[in-house]
Chain A
Amino acid sequence: MLNKIAELINKNVSGANAVVNVATDAKCDSSITVEASKILPVVSFLRGNTEMPFNSLHVISGVDYVDYMEVCYMMTHYDLTDPREFILKVKVTDRVNPKLDSIVQVYAAANFQEREVYDMFGITFTNHPDHRRILCPDDWEGFPLRKDYVTQKMYNGMEVYPDSKMNFEDREYIVRQNMIKQAQKASASTESEG
């Protein structure tokens, strides 16, 4: 099915460059990657075509692979006889000022989902009608789900992770228990070898 969709996209949207990523493991899901700049025409084509339409967008999920970031659009077709779904992906390589076209005009579901991706990964969606953070506070610094995220030290005059409220005793206890276990294991292995 994915090959057919990729073919359709390539035929109808010029420069979309749709490629099927076949999963290396049979138990995992395959997906389709398209050019980041062409996401809006690709999505509107997928919704509007008659051959293989997708009438709903389930969710937009971002993944940070350090070298680049990926935005996954879970496309679904609610149909009683022929339900289908697939993962549509775009790669965003710019980490400093990442930008994508908003697809709110095609799927209204994208409104909150794009705001969440912006909140967590800092990807700006151009032409979004209400572009601001959704889960974190408006004045939060940094984008939490990026792999290089560092928690801010102070927030509105309050200390984040204050020492007085951290449970260091429990942590030490766990570390000590692990050390004891490792020591036991090491001694057991030397005994068996001896």
Chain B
Amino acid sequence: MQTRWDIGEPEAPTINSETEQLKSELLTLNMGPQHPATHGVLRIEIWTDSEIVAHAIPHLGYLHRCMEKHAENLDYRGIIPFVDRLDYLAAMNMEWTYAMTVEKMLGTEVPRRAELLRIITGELQRIASHLMAFGTYALDLGAFTPFLYAFEEREKILRLFEEVSGSRLLYNYIWIGGVWNDWTNEQIERASQFCDTMEEEAKKYHELVSTNKIFIERTANVGVMSLQDCFDYGASGPVLRGSGFKWDLRKNIPYSLYSEFDFDVPVGTGEVGQVGDCWNRYIVRMKEVVESIKIIRQAIAKLEPGPVMGKVPKIIKLPKGEVYVRAECPRGELAFHLVSEEGGKKPYRLKVKSPCFTHVSMLPHIAPGQMIADFVASVGSIDIVLGEVDR
């Protein structure tokens, strides 16, 4: 078997003539698996020349739970809790995508109210996830206060989800054919109140972080991913949009009821720094929060009483064949490749296309030549969740 040394000794990068003289032997540093800047248990082996990263090698698998193998031994409903645990910060979107995959093969009609409730929960979850990204990113760069602001608002969403689904993080709420439980009018009212406060809060965040001089110095022109790189590596979500490409599955290939909604797709425009850098990826997320609020308000206005569960057979048996279903999740495009056998009660194969896995593979490409502190900023800006990377 080949080893990792086969990739050849990386050359120390030349920044200018001064560093050329200082060039010395490369030092190997392990960032992680227990490192606050890696957002979980990611280990990155960094080869440094003084403080400049020459080469970064991500080592994955510390959180590998064989989800795809487990799925082959579970019935279609039983997989939902496992899917929750992929991206534990956006569990609603994970469930939703999985439910869509099975529904496509089953041919189930989802009632209109259930679709709208899915959109409301999905977008609230997107806000919660982006708030987490915002808070921890500022934390990575040494600012503690934004983290507390973000958690205050995120807590409101989690409280609401707890009332609706029974748990705070891993919900098992969106089921095949609809949603588990209906929302009461009081809960819908609270969601709409949350939208009002969140809109004001978002402005506060921009004052606090987005336009902050130190934050801009740390993130602008750092970790630039060109649009060509994004296509090469198959990037999606805020990373692709941060590089200036106006691509959102909700808009370009609408699923669910998204074609009825009026919202904008924010992209990185390079107001500060250049397109595709950390600041642009960050600002795309913050602008998306505002767009999500718009969608939730429209969805609430469209809500009408009705059933929340479609007609699904007691034992789900799928036809022979395969489907590949994509959906826009907070971190990028999540997709499931489901292969089923004739009359099978369990999937023959369930492959998860995880957006973060793809984005981690971009790190070795952008790392060479960066300072270690800038590399931390780059890792934070792609907003990884290791549960989804390692599956």
Residues of A within 8 A of B (CB): 23-25, 27-29, 31, 55-59, 61-64, 72, 74, 76, 78, 80, 83, 85, 87, 107-109, 111-112, 120, 129-137, 144-145
Contact A112 B361 (CB under 8 A): yes
Contact A29 B321 (CB under 8 A): yes
Q: How distant is the Cα of A129 from the Cα of B6 in the complex, in angstroms? A: 8
Contacts of B22 in A (CB 8 A): none
Residues of B within 8 A of A (CB): 1-4, 6-7, 60-61, 64, 66, 68-69, 104-107, 229, 231-234, 240, 245-247, 252-253, 319-324, 326, 333, 335, 337, 339, 348-349, 351, 353, 357-358, 360-361, 365, 390-391
B78, chain A: closest CB distance, angstroms: 13
Contacts of B2 in A (CB 8 A): 131-132
Contact A83 B253 (CB under 8 A): yes
Contacts of B335 in A (CB 8 A): 58-59, 74
Main secondary structure of the interface of B (DSSP, over half): mixed
Closest 6 CB pairs of A and B: A28-B321, A109-B234, A61-B351, A59-B353, A25-B319, A112-B361
Contact B234 A56 (CB under 8 A): yes
A79, chain B: closest CB distance, angstroms: 9
Contact of A28 among B323, B357, B360, B361 (CB under 8 A): B323
Q: How distant is the Cα of A23 from the Cα of B358 in the complex, in angstroms? A: 29
A108-B365, A144-B69 given; A27·B1 CB < 8 A:
no
Q: How distant is the Cα of A189 from the Cα of B4 in the complex, in angstroms? A: 63
A74-B335, A78-B231, A80-B252 given; A112·B321 CB < 8 A:
no
The CB with the most chain B CB atoms within 10 A, among A31, A56, A64, is that of A56
A145, chain B: closest CB distance, angstroms: 6
Contact B1 A135 (CB under 8 A): no
Main secondary structure of the interface of A (DSSP, over half): loop
Q: How distant is the Cα of A129 from the Cα of B361 in the complex, in angstroms? A: 13
Contact A25 B353 (CB under 8 A): no
Contacts of B252 in A (CB 8 A): 80, 83
* Apart from A28-B321, A145-B68: 18 A-B pairs, beta carbons within 8 A: A23-B321, A24-B320, A25-B319, A29-B324, A56-B231, A56-B232, A57-B234, A59-B234, A59-B351, A59-B353, A63-B349, A78-B240, A80-B252, A85-B326, A109-B232, A109-B358, A112-B360, A135-B64
Q: How distant is the Cα of A52 from the Cα of B391 in the complex, in angstroms? A: 34
Contact B234 A76 (CB under 8 A): yes
**CB closest chain-A residue, reference B240:** A78
Contact A55 B231 (CB under 8 A): yes
Contact B349 A112 (CB under 8 A): no
Q: How distant is the Cα of A83 from the Cα of B249 in the complex, in angstroms? A: 10
Q: How distant is the Cα of A45 from the Cα of B1 in the complex, in angstroms? A: 31
Contacts of A87 in B (CB 8 A): 322, 324
Q: How distant is the Cα of A76 from the Cα of B389 in the complex, in angstroms? A: 21
Q: How distant is the Cα of A17 from the Cα of B240 in the complex, in angstroms? A: 35
Q: How distant is the Cα of A158 from the Cα of B320 in the complex, in angstroms? A: 40
The CB with the most chain A CB atoms within 10 A, among B104, B319, B322, is that of B322
Contacts of A25 in B (CB 8 A): 105, 319-321
